[in-house]
């Protein structure tokens, strides 16, 4: 993760070099900013609370990233499992999970801990340094404040979090102090997060009316003597989508968490590909370096015998793989509206593409196995040889023998949440001879044509 942090920072700083604005542009910006501030002060308090970005242009509106977070007290032998930070306009969400030893215990038992928080966040107008354009150009240093509800290991409370944002092209580095007050008392969670900007300003979504939401309600009120007063109510409201139009992207991918009940060791994946989104459809082609857990797969057996009788724990291991994947997908929310509420998207154009998407993906992966590592290679080989010796009717081939691997096609599927340019996906890949893999993956869709237009100006 430290290597990934270094690469993103170096890439962003490199983009920043040489970006200058002439004096006349700066003066025009200052005048425009003064006009915005004057108009903003005339609005209602409610409006000013929920539209702070109007007077803080350039500040990222939408981001998701990985956090390094640790409490200053309460835990020893602390080891983070995963921690994420999500911001959407004024919504602030953080979640972290770890293992460690509570300091109020006399023994050294390792327990699991968690902290999650939901609240309000806003950039502060106290000061700012720099200028950031359309999320992909320039830099901005600016403080922010957050606060709201926190759940610290099951104890409810409130939190307040002052922070400083270093906003570079595409990425944000946020340093913050989460000050929690819960039933467990006062605690502080210092946090450093690397966030991917969802590029909402660059995508510039248009609120597009695509149909109507129709509602109807009928009720009957007893009047006595078997008589009822029946009343009906119906309404129709416009249904809108934040439309960004069709787009294609270069998409780097990172598998940040492997999931499995009995994995040999944690592992990650790295990939790069091309993605396209249009209407409720999506398509992805990408290359990925990953690993797969060894073992006889559910779809490998004949009459269920091999899988049910072969003990995969005896051959615990990982196979290093190179994978080329071809995926198609469908927006689940779009499918729901098309089937359950067709009037809501009746006028939706073929090119209308939502800013946020919940997709189901399915495809094929060509898997090229490399070397394999096992918990105990000699023991795994001995168990496998003995299994086939005792079951001579079962073919000893790459399908039934988890110690043998070959190039072959596998099946991949998953569900993703795409927030503008940032996607988080739970994905699984299985093949007959190479095992299986299930991961939480984060990917970043970079709309190259839109980015190129910004830098041409």
Query: Hey, is 146 helix, strand or coil?
Result: strand
| β partners of residue 211 | 239
**Strand pairing of 435-444 and 422-431?**
antiparallel
Q: Spell out the domains of the chain, with CATH numbers in brackets.
A: 2-197 (2.40.160.20), 242-456 (2.40.160)
**Strand pairing of 111-123 and 129-133?**
unpaired
| β partners of residue 186 | 181
Residue 440 has pLDDT above 60, yes or no: yes
Q: Taking Cα atoms as reference points, which of 225, 237, 157, 224 lies closest to residue 189?
A: 157
The pLDDT of 381-402, averaged and rounded, is 85
Determine the straight-line distance between the first and last CA of the chain, rounded to whole angstroms: 34
Q: What is the distance between the alpha carbons of residues 379 and 185, in angstroms, rounded to a whole number?
A: 51
The whole-number pLDDT of residue 12 equals 42
Q: What is the distance between the alpha carbons of residues 138 and 166, in angstroms, rounded to a whole number?
A: 11
Contact partners, residue 104, CB within 8 Å, separation at least 6: 74
The pLDDT of 315-339, averaged and rounded, is 92
The pLDDT of 411-417, averaged and rounded, is 96
Q: What is the distance between the alpha carbons of residues 374 and 295, in angstroms, rounded to a whole number?
A: 11
Question: Residue 409: how many CB atoms within 10 A of its CB?
Answer: 12
DSSP per-residue letters across 167-236: E-SSEEEEEEEEEEEETTEEEEEEEEEEEEE--HHHH--EEEEEEEEEEEEEEEEEEETTEEEEEEEEEE
Query: What confidence tens digit (pLDDT) does each residue in 212-256 have?
Result: 887 777 777 887 777 777 777 777 888 889 999 999 999 999 998
pLDDT over 70, % of the chain: 89
Residue 307 has pLDDT above 70, yes or no: no
DSSP per-residue letters across 148-165: EEEEETTEEEEEEEEEEE
The pLDDT of 127-138, averaged and rounded, is 91
Question: Residue 434: how many CB atoms within 10 A of its CB?
Answer: 29
Query: Hey, is 382 helix, strand or coil?
Result: helix
Please provide the size of the chain in residues: 457
The whole-number pLDDT of residue 261 equals 67
17: its two tokens: 């070099």
| β partners of residue 242 | 207
The pLDDT of 311-323, averaged and rounded, is 89
The pLDDT of 282-297, averaged and rounded, is 90
Tally of CA atoms within 13 A in the half-sphere of 199 that contains its CB? 22
229 CB-contact burial (10 Å; exposed 0-12 / middle 13-18 / buried 19+):
exposed
pLDDT over 90, % of the chain: 51
Q: What is the distance between the alpha carbons of residues 417 and 25, in angstroms, rounded to a whole number?
A: 38
The whole-number pLDDT of residue 274 equals 98
SS3 for 241-309 is EEECCCEEEEEEEEEEEECCCCCCCCCCEEEEEEEEEECCEEEEEEEEEEEEECCCCHHHCCCCHHHHH
Contact partners, residue 276, CB within 8 Å, separation at least 6: 246, 247, 248, 249, 282, 283, 284
Residue 123 has pLDDT above 80, yes or no: yes
Contact partners, residue 411, CB within 8 Å, separation at least 6: 362, 363, 364, 365, 429, 430, 431
Query: What confidence tens digit (pLDDT) does each residue in 77-109 have?
Result: 888 888 999 999 899 999 999 999 888 777 778
Q: What is the distance between the alpha carbons of residues 411 and 251, in angstroms, rounded to a whole number?
A: 21
Task: Tell me, rounded to whole angstroms, the distance of Cα 365 from its chain centroid.
Answer: 22
DSSP per-residue letters across 295-351: S--GGG-STTHHHHHS-GGGG-EEEEEEEEEEEEEEEHHHHHHHHH-GGGGTT--TT
Q: What is the distance between the alpha carbons of residues 93 and 419, in angstroms, rounded to a whole number?
A: 14
The whole-number pLDDT of residue 347 equals 87
Contact partners, residue 324, CB within 8 Å, separation at least 6: 285, 286, 287, 288, 365, 366
Binned at pLDDT 50, 70 and 90, residue 433 comes out as: confident
| β partners of residue 101 | 76
The whole-number pLDDT of residue 35 equals 66
DSSP per-residue letters across 61-110: SEEEEEEEE--SSSEEEEEEEEEEEEEETTEEEEEEEEEEEETT-SS---
Query: What confidence tens digit (pLDDT) does each residue in 16-71 have?
Result: 433 334 444 444 455 656 666 777 777 777 777 777 787 788 899 999 999 999 99
Residue 54's φ and ψ, nearest 5 degrees, are -65, -30
């Amino acid at each position: 993760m430290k290597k990934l942090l270094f690469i993103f920072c170096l890439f962003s700083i490199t983009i920043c070099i040489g970006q200058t604005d002439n004096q006349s542009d700066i003066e025009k910006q200052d005048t425009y900013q003064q006009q915005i501030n004057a108009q903003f002060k005339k609005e209602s308090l409610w409006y000013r609370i929920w539209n702070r970005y109007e007077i803080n242009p350039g500040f990222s509106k939408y981001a998701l990233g990985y956090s390094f977070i640790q409490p200053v007290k309460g835990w020893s032998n602390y080891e983070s499992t995963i921690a994420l930070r999500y911001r959407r306009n004024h919504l602030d969400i953080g979640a972290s999970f770890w293992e460690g030893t509570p300091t109020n215990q006399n023994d050294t038992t390792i327990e699991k801990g968690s902290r999650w928080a939901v609240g309000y966040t806003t950039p502060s107008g106290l000061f700012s340094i720099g200028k950031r354009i359309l999320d992909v150009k320039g830099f901005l240093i600016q403080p922010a404040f957050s606060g709201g509800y926190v759940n610290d290991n099951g104890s409810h409370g409130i939190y307040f979090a002052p922070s400083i944002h270093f906003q570079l092209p595409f990425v944000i580095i946020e340093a913050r102090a989460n000050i929690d007050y819960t039933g467990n008392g006062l605690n502080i969670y210092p946090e450093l997060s690397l966030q991917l900007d969802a590029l909402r300003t660059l995508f510039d979504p248009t609120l597009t009316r695509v149909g109507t939401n129709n509602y109807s309600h009928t009720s009957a009120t007893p009047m006595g003597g078997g008589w009822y007063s029946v009343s009906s109510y119906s309404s129709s409201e416009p249904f809108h989508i934040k439309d960004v139009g069709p787009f294609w992207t270069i998409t780097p991918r990172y598998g940040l968490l492997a999931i499995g009940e009995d994995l040999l060791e944690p592992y990650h994946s790295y990939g790069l590909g091309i993605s396209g989104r249009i209407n409720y459809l999506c398509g992805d082609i990408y290359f990925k370096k990953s690993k797969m857990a060894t073992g006889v797969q559910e779809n490998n057996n004949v009459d269920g015998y091999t899988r049910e009788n072969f003990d995969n724990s005896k051959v615990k291991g990982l196979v290093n793989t190179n994978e080329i994947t071809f995926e198609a997908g469908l927006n689940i929310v779009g499918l729901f509206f098309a089937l359950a509420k067709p009037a809501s998207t009746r006028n939706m154009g073929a090119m209308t593409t939502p800013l946020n998407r919940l997709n189901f993906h399915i495809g094929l992966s060509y898997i090229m196995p490399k070397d394999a590592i096992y918990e105990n290679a000699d023991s795994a080989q001995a168990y496998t040889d003995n299994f086939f010796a005792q079951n001579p009717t079962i073919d000893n081939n790459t399908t039934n023998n988890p110690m043998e691997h070959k190039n072959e096609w596998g099946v991949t599927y998953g569900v993703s949440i795409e927030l503008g340019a940032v996607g988080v996906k739970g994905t699984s890949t299985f093949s007959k001879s190479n095992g299986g893999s299930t991961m939480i993956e984060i990917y970043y869709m970079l709309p190259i044509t839109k980015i190129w237009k910004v830098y041409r100006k």
